[in-house]
């Protein structure tokens, strides 16, 4: 379980300081898929980076499994069991896809084992397993490879920052199935996704709406999701795909 207490984050501005997050308190329970959504500029990605240890809060505390991890960096938190998928994946010149998946798992696995994870995100393993994770890969390819490494880790908390960014429609549809599979197989961990896509919101256990750096509302999907349909907090992938049921809800 992840618990955030009164988390704030400010950055320098022309007028002194600008508050990105303001006293945010939140609990991500075990065995749940939680989606954080809200308008652009509301602090969603900043919150994800705070959880992963990429950014340090100006004030407040972060607890994971009952222990204070506020001062741990991204490496320390990864050792504790927190995995993070960047909105814009990092490139690693000289490292091959197979190596990256092996590092994520923490042990040597066969190419066939690695191929299973790549196939989950719609990549033909034989075309990618020996590719370098560098500029020769497109943004969408890097995104899917990174998601595969997070899945491979089977972390206690998996955090995805706008996983739909930069991937094609087929991959997005497949990504939904991947998240549903991850959710179904959760034993004692949890999944946190930063997104404003209706299809992702529709599979959440709980939804948190972050607006202007504060939590606007939060609760079970069935309570929060209907209030978001058609708003700026929920970009309609259904509308783009014309994928509605007869009652107007996402398929």
Three-state SS annotation for 179-191:
HHHHHHCCCCCEE
Q: Give the C-alpha separation, 222 to 83, whole Å.
A: 27
pLDDT score, position 179: 87
Nearest partner of 204 among 1, 37, 33, 30, judged by Cα: 33
Phi, psi (5° rounding) for residue 131?
Answer: -80, 145
Q: Which secondary-structure segment (H or E) carries 111?
A: helix 111-120
pLDDT score, position 240: 42
Nearest partner of 238 among 201, 198, 196, 178, judged by Cα: 198
Nearest partner of 87 among 164, 192, 171, 176, judged by Cα: 164
Q: Give the C-alpha separation, 207 to 228, whole Å.
A: 10
Tell me, what DSSP letter sits at residue 235? B
Q: Give the C-alpha separation, 91 to 137, whole Å.
A: 9
Q: Give the C-alpha separation, 191 to 124, whole Å.
A: 26
SS3 245: coil
Q: What share of the chain is helix, strand, coil (3-state, %, to 5)?
A: 35, 30, 35
Tell me, what DSSP letter sits at residue 143? H
| Residue 169: burial class (beta carbons within 10 Å; 0-12, 13-18, 19+) | exposed
SS3 77: helix
pLDDT score, position 230: 65
* Sign of the four-CA dihedral 77, 83, 88, 89: positive
**pLDDT, averaged in runs of 10, over the chain (251 residues):** 94 86 93 93 91 93 94 92 77 75 78 79 72 73 80 86 76 82 83 92 94 93 87 52 38 42
Q: Give the C-alpha separation, 206 to 204, whole Å.
A: 5
Nearest partner of 179 among 1, 34, 65, judged by Cα: 34
pLDDT score, position 101: 82
């Amino acid at each position: 379980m992840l618990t955030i207490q009164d988390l704030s984050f400010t950055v320098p501005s022309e007028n002194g300081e600008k508050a990105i997050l303001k006293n945010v308190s939140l609990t991500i329970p075990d065995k749940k898929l939680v989606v954080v959504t809200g308008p652009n500029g509301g602090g969603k990605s900043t919150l994800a980076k705070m959880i992963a240890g990429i950014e340090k809060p100006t004030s407040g505390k972060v607890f994971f499994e009952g222990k204070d991890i506020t001062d741990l960096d991204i490496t320390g938190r990864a050792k504790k069991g927190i995995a993070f998928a960047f909105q814009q994946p990092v490139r690693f010149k000289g490292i091959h896809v197979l190596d990256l998946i092996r590092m994520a798992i923490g042990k040597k696995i066969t190419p066939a084992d690695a191929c299973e994870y790549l196939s989950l995100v719609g990549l033909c393993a034989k075309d990618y397993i020996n590719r370098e994770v560098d500029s020769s890969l497109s943004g969408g390819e890097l995104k899917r490879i990174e998601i595969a490494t997070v899945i491979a880790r089977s972390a206690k908390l998996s955090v995805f920052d706008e996983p739909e960014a930069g991937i094609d429609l087929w991959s997005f549809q497949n990504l939904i199935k991947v998240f549903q599979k991850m959710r179904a197989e959760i034993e004692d961990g949890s999944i946190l996704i930063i997104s404003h896509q209706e299809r992702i919101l529709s599979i959440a256990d709980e939804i948190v709406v972050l607006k202007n750096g504060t939590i606007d509302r939060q609760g079970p999907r069935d309570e929060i999701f209907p209030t978001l349909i058609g708003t700026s907090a929920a970009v309609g992938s259904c509308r783009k795909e014309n994928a509605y049921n007869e009652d107007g809800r996402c398929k």
